[in-house]
Structure 1
């Protein structure tokens, strides 16, 4: 099934890619400010920087930029420089060409990076339990194998499309497993936060501010952050799988959405995690609190009026669930 001609689909994909890349750069700039600069305005010391997040941000940026640059070169070559038989479609169907191979590498690599950081966050929040992330991690490894096999088949094709019949089973499996990883890890992360919030309430810890109106707890904001940001990536992955399964050329514009949605989602989680609203109190005191021997100790802060607050202030900054001091 072909909804658009291949040249038209590639042009639309290029337009989508440019627009989303601009959005991605804006979110990257804001996220980089939180990663590298302290609240006081000074540059963070090396020991204060979360290097895993910085490295992943850098890889996502390089990969997104590489994909856009190669796409631009391919479009210019197809519509401006090439005047041989077959027209622009000949350039886009050159399966083993370096442009096609590079673009075919960038999209799954971006998804694997996004899935990997989700698994890392899940592992981190669940007190670094490998048992919790065992299944998502095994699926991620299977996804790596599918991506390698897909690139191997594409490199052997002198003329063809990534939606061709020979390649289709491998990429169908890839996108299906990507969606599974997304749903499982997001559910585990949200479930972990919800469990902490529930334990707080069982111990008579009120997690909402009632100064004027009842406000959503900080943990509630963290859950909403993960769900809303994760939905962007998951929904785009579902569209990618759907268009690829029906072998539609709409897969090319949707792939452009896919590669940039990973970086945007990653940045939004960082930004909104730092900007989570905190409840205000006049006075505070601190007492230690532990859920169970198997869980990481956390700290509660109680306001002078007897209302305590737990906050997941940052999902990947600390190896413990830390309450925000009320002031």
Structure 2
């Protein structure tokens, strides 16, 4: 066990949670504006223009992270202010197998499952809605759902509320290990898809070049965005798994990092993705004279940002192809 006491670990976790929640709210406000209004912000999007999957996920992430913060605050008040019995604050944290512990223990895996689920959805969407591509990540995700249910069932039966107790530790280790696997697989598949389309565009002459002569590929920016966000998520998950495995009280601050990093990275992908689709005055686009006869429309600039789910821009940029020979 770590030399850090449980009350101290809970206080540090709450400090991290409050700071990250503030950052999350800022990114949520920006992402929400992009989701619900046009790029210019002059009008609300029509219902047909709104990406409802992203809106619903954003709402669930917000409600869940807020619930976790509120319950953690209530627990701290009970431990350090209201409770005056033997054992002090430690007694509340170690014998809190009531509704507070159950809700807090539900919020973290639920937030993680949402983050993993949206990664799988993005992967499925970009690979032309191929179920074969996401078969393995999706099966692991379903296994993680079952693992979470078993984890919570054991926790409800535990005599103490510590989520690092030996009875349920293997289930927690399995959950975080599978979370890391899902993140690595889906991020690699998404980046691989973007890279393939980017190579095809360059091969067919669809290149975005700045007026200063420096190549500037929108898909390259999207690929970097996904890699950076995936690295943040993966590093935090690895840290959470490590602290959980060694049964350290640092697992509590790690869980606070995890639950809010999911929402922050989700919002950053939307924000940075939308920025890459906006037209820039210093950018010129070079496209071939002929395009495929099956092409119905194509977008070379950012347009109005009608498709806020920025990664679906692949459908637009990959439509360019050499003229069909007859």
1:79-110 deviation digits (Å, cap 9, x = unpaired): 00001111101111124211011000000000
TM-score normalised by length of structure 2:
0.89
Q: Are the counterparts in 1 of residues 24 and 264 from structure 2 also a CA contact under 8 Å?
A: yes
**Alpha-carbon displacement from aligned partner over 1:256-311 (angstroms, at most 9, x marks no partner):** 00000000000000000000165633898885449xx9xx9884759xxxxxxxxx
Structure with the higher helix share, 1 or 2? 2
State the 1:145 CA deviation.
0.7
SS of equivalent residue, structure 2 residue 87: coil
Distance verdict in 2 for CA 1:298–1:148, change over 3 Å: farther
In the alignment, does 2:33 pair up with 1:33?
yes
| Aligned counterpart, 1:305 | none
CA contact (8 A) 1:226 1:269 kept: yes
SS in 2 for 1:209: strand
1:227 equivalent in alignment to 2:227: yes
3-state SS in 1 of match to 2:316: coil
Structure 1 position 39, deviation (Å): 2.5
Q: Contact conserved, 2:35 with 2:308, CA < 8 A, in 1? A: no
Which residues of 2 match residues 41-80 of structure 1 at below 5 A?
A: 41-80=42-81
C-alpha contact 2:226 2:269 (8 A) present in aligned 1:
yes
Cα 1:81–1:160 change in 2 (3 A) is same
Which residue is equivalent to 1:201? 202
Post-superposition Cα deviations, 1:91-150, rounded to whole Å, max 9, x if no partner, equal: 111242110110000000000000000000000000000000000000000000110000
- The answer to whether the 8 Å contact 2:101/2:161 transfers is no
Give me the whole-angstrom Cα distance separating, in 2, the residues matched to 1:278 and 1:319: 13
Task: Compare relative contact order (CA 8 Å, sep 6+) and give the higher one, 1 or 2.
Answer: 2
User: For the aligned residues, what is the CA RMSD?
Assistant: 2.5
Aligned residues: 310
SS in 2 for 1:216: coil
TM-score by length of 1: 0.88
Q: Which runs of 5+ in 1 are unaligned?
A: 303-312
Query: Are the structure 2 counterparts of residues 47 and 71 from structure 1 closer, same or farther at C-alpha, using a change threshold of 3 Å?
Result: same
Take 2:183 and 2:300, find their aligned partners in 1: how far apart are those partners?
34
**C-alpha spacing 1:168/1:95, structure 2 compared with 1 (3 Å):** farther
Alignment partner, residue 20 of structure 1: 20
Match of residue 284 from structure 2? 281
Residues 317, 201 of structure 1: CA spacing in aligned structure 2 closer, same or farther, 3 A cutoff?
A: closer
1:56-88 C-alpha deviation (Å, 9 max, x unpaired): 000000000000000000000000000111110
CA–CA separation in structure 2 for the residues paired with 1:318 and 1:7: 46
Counterpart-to-counterpart distance in 2, 1:206 and 1:4: 56
Contact 1:289 1:300 in 2 (8 A): no
Matched, 1:321 2:311: no
Provide the C-alpha distance between the structure 2 equivalents of 1:284 and 1:5, rounded to a whole number of angstroms. Answer: 62
Residue 323 of structure 1 and its aligned partner are, at CA, apart by 3.1
Question: What is aligned with 2:321?
Answer: none
Counterpart of 1:181? 182
- Unaligned stretches of 5+ in structure 2? 302-306, 319-326
